[in-house]
Structure 1
Amino acid sequence: MSDRRLRGVERQISEAEARGEFKNLPGAGKPIPGMDAPLHEDWWLRQQATRENMGLDALPPALRLAREVEDLPQTLDALDGEAAVREAVAALNARIKRALIGPVDGPPLRFGLLDAEATVTAWRERRA
Structure 2
Amino acid sequence: MSERKPLNLPFENWIDRQIREAEERGAFDDLPGAGKPLPGLDRHLDENWWIKQKIESEGLSMALPPTLALRRDAEVALGEARGARSEAEARRIVEEINERIREAIRTGLPGPPLNLMPFDVDQVVSEWRQARRR
TM range (shorter): 0.5 to 0.7
1:62 Cα deviation after fit? 1.6
1:22 Cα deviation after fit? 8.5
* Deviation by residue 1:20-72 (Cα, 9 ceiling, x = unmatched): 95973233264325x6xxxxxxxx9xxx69xx7979xx544322211112212
Match of 1:101 among 101, 106, 121: 106
1:113 Cα deviation after fit? 1.5
Question: For residues 100 and 60 of structure 1, what CA distance do their matches in structure 2 show?
Answer: 15
Question: For residues 127 and 45 of structure 2, what CA distance do their matches in structure 1 show?
Answer: 32
Which blocks of at least 5 consecutive residues in structure 2 are unaligned? 5-14
CA separation of 1:114/1:54 partners in 2, compared to 1, >3 Å: closer, same or farther?
A: farther
CA contact (8 A) 1:96 1:112 kept: yes
Question: For residues 123 and 108 of structure 1, what CA distance do their matches in structure 2 show?
Answer: 29
Which blocks of at least 5 consecutive residues in structure 1 are unaligned? 36-43
TM-score relative to the length of structure 2: 0.51
Alignment of 1:39-54 (within 5 A): none
The equivalent residue for 1:24 is 37
- Determine if the alignment matches structure 1 residue 81 to structure 2 residue 94: no
Question: For residues 129 and 81 of structure 2, what CA distance do their matches in structure 1 show?
Answer: 10
Calculate the aligned-residue CA RMSD, in Å.
4.1
TM-score relative to the length of structure 1: 0.53
Count matched residues: 102
The equivalent residue for 2:9 is none
Greater C-alpha Rg: 2
State the AA in 1 paired with 2:67.
A
1:105 Cα deviation after fit? 2.2
Question: For residues 82 and 54 of structure 1, what CA distance do their matches in structure 2 show?
Answer: 37
The equivalent residue for 2:95 is 90
CA separation of 1:119/1:21 partners in 2, compared to 1, >3 Å: closer, same or farther?
A: farther
- Determine if the alignment matches structure 1 residue 64 to structure 2 residue 77: no
